[in-house]
Structure 1
Amino acid sequence: MDFVFVPGAWHGGWAWHPVARRLASAGHRAVALTMPGMSVGDDQRELRLADAVAHLFAEIERRDLTEVVLVGHSWGGIPIAGAARRLGARLHAIAMVSAFVPRSGESMIEALGAEVGGYLRTQIESSPNHSISLNFDAVRESLMQDEPEALQRLLYELLVPQPGGYMLDALDVVDFAELDVPMTYLLAEHDRALAAPGAELAARLGTEPVLVPGTHEAIITHADEVAKALQASVET
């Protein structure tokens, strides 16, 4: 299988490296992508969600990947939903790990609700490069609660601002049923950062969540368990 990993908001492909290395050691091809604008020094002002979708699709074609298992974390579920419809016979399966599963016409900001969404819109509008930054309190309280502070601060130092367009834009059409491929939803047991209950998000894929240990950042802190669950999902 060719596993293609898409990171969540504020993260780069580095967040998937622990899981990707384990799957590569098991004999799979593993590609962890960083979306446009998600490296230090990038200009995020003109980036839109369509750019992330196009980048994901183009990288799969450029690398001539087949039997593709698209794996998304958090916000990464949105570009996966956009690119999957374009992959045709290349697509083998979809797996979400504590990911947002979008609905047609629903942006990430809208899914987060009026209060949080309004705050984020204001931040985007006031940012010189049309981006959203994350503060350390969010890492400590929502993304990686109960983990050692040194690890929380390391994660915080690795994060970069998220392009505002990635959060404001929505996919016109989302229809996972039409893809007719296996779907898996892995849910971290102690996730506090999801925009909706994990069972509801999994149901949008037509499945039930499979629990893995950890917080929203389980792909880093519990890579063994996540990798094993992903491998099991394509072997059944």
Structure 2
Amino acid sequence: MSTFVLVHGACQGEWVWEKVKPELEALGHKVATLDLPGSGQDMTPPQQVTLDLYVEKVSDLIKQQNEKVILVGHSMGGLVITQTAEKVHDKIDKLVYLCAFLPKNGESLISKSEGEKGPEFELNEADMTLGPKLETVEETFFNAVEDEALKLASMKRCRPQALAPFTQPVIITEEKFGSVDRIYIETTLDNAIPISFQRRMNTETPCSKVITMEADHAPFLSKPEELVNHLNQVSKS
């Protein structure tokens, strides 16, 4: 059995894994999650939040585990696990990009997204945060979630996202980041990171395996059982 560390994306928190974590644990895996600084229930002021701070928190969680981990990053979490792999590559068995950003050296989320379709964000200059336009949240992030109560609850739990992690480039090397096995789980119904963009990223930075789900940008809500099955299979490969 494996140890999973699950990293959420922008505007969300560890709550996104509530349907996935217990099912993986029921299969015998160990699962660790966290709220990134300034996300979920973490009250770090957004002005203090950086990609480096994200990486520090995730690295600390990984170091607490007794074995190498399978590090999963959703959406913006792809940048976090990429930079984390550069820092603690010897503690990571596999990287799993779940409809996530997969940057090359020197790229930030904003530079990687240039010219691509994606969420419409509004900037709050006073606290240096970005938030998706409320009228677009459902169709952008949760368009295939059939449970209306779950969808509404999830929309209400989203928070504005600190801006700095969007602008900071990753600095990675083939010797460290490049030494870790990479798997990409792509989602064909995704309106936040369209499938064409996902496929461009996992082609530019090749992965040992690409798994395709007919899901939206929230497969942990719309297709949790299928996602758990894929992660379980990843642990056996």
TMscore range, shorter length? 0.7 to 0.9
1:185 positional shift: 0.8
Question: Paired residue for 1:222?
Answer: 223
Q: In 2, are the aligned partners of 1:136 and 1:153 still within 8 Å (CA)?
A: no
1:45 positional shift: 1.1
1:137 positional shift: 2.5
1:56 matches 2:58: yes
Question: Paired residue for 2:23?
Answer: 22
Write the distance in 1 (CA, Å) between the matches of 2:175 and 2:183: 12
Question: Paired residue for 2:36?
Answer: 35
Q: In 2, are the aligned partners of 1:187 and 1:209 still within 8 Å (CA)?
A: yes
After superposition, residues 1-236 of structure 1 pair within 5 angstroms as 1-40=2-41, 41-61=43-63, 63-113=64-114, 123-124=122-123, 126-148=124-146, 149-173=148-172, 175=174, 179-194=178-193, 197-203=197-203, 204-236=205-237
Question: RMSD in angstroms over aligned alpha carbons?
Answer: 2.4
TM-score of the superposed pair, with normalisation by structure 1: 0.87
- Unmatched 5+ stretches in structure 1: none
Write the distance in 2 (CA, Å) between the matches of 1:67 and 1:58: 13
Secondary structure (helix, strand or coil) at the match of 1:18 reads coil
Q: In 1, are the aligned partners of 2:117 and 2:193 still within 8 Å (CA)?
A: no
Q: In 2, are the aligned partners of 1:102 and 1:174 still within 8 Å (CA)?
A: no
Secondary structure (helix, strand or coil) at the match of 2:47 reads coil
1:150 positional shift: 4.0
TM-score of the superposed pair, with normalisation by structure 2: 0.87
The letter of the residue matching 1:108 is: L
Q: In 1, are the aligned partners of 2:94 and 2:181 still within 8 Å (CA)?
A: yes
Q: In 1, are the aligned partners of 2:76 and 2:100 still within 8 Å (CA)?
A: yes
Query: Mean alpha-carbon deviation: is it higher for 103-112 or for 77-86?
Result: 103-112
Write the distance in 2 (CA, Å) between the matches of 1:54 and 1:115: 29
Q: In 2, are the aligned partners of 1:143 and 1:193 still within 8 Å (CA)?
A: yes
Q: Alpha-carbon deviations, 1:44-82, whole Å to 9, x = none?
A: 112111110111101222x23422000010000001001
1:174 positional shift: 5.3
Write the distance in 1 (CA, Å) between the matches of 2:116 and 2:61: 36
**In structure 2, do the counterparts of structure 1 residues 38 and 178 end up closer, same or farther at CA, with 3 Å as the change threshold?**
closer
Write the distance in 2 (CA, Å) between the matches of 1:13 and 1:165: 20
Query: Mean alpha-carbon deviation: is it higher for 142-151 or for 19-28?
Result: 142-151
**In structure 2, do the counterparts of structure 1 residues 146 and 136 end up closer, same or farther at CA, with 3 Å as the change threshold?**
farther
Write the distance in 2 (CA, Å) between the matches of 1:219 and 1:198: 17
Q: In 2, are the aligned partners of 1:53 and 1:83 still within 8 Å (CA)?
A: yes
Higher percent of residues as helix: 1
Write the distance in 1 (CA, Å) between the matches of 2:90 and 2:40: 31
Write the distance in 1 (CA, Å) between the matches of 2:145 and 2:80: 29
Secondary structure (helix, strand or coil) at the match of 1:225 reads helix
Runs of 4+ in 1 over 6 A off after TM superposition: none
Q: In 2, are the aligned partners of 1:72 and 1:99 still within 8 Å (CA)?
A: yes
Q: In 1, are the aligned partners of 2:6 and 2:73 still within 8 Å (CA)?
A: yes
Write the distance in 2 (CA, Å) between the matches of 1:108 and 1:57: 20
Number of aligned residues:
231
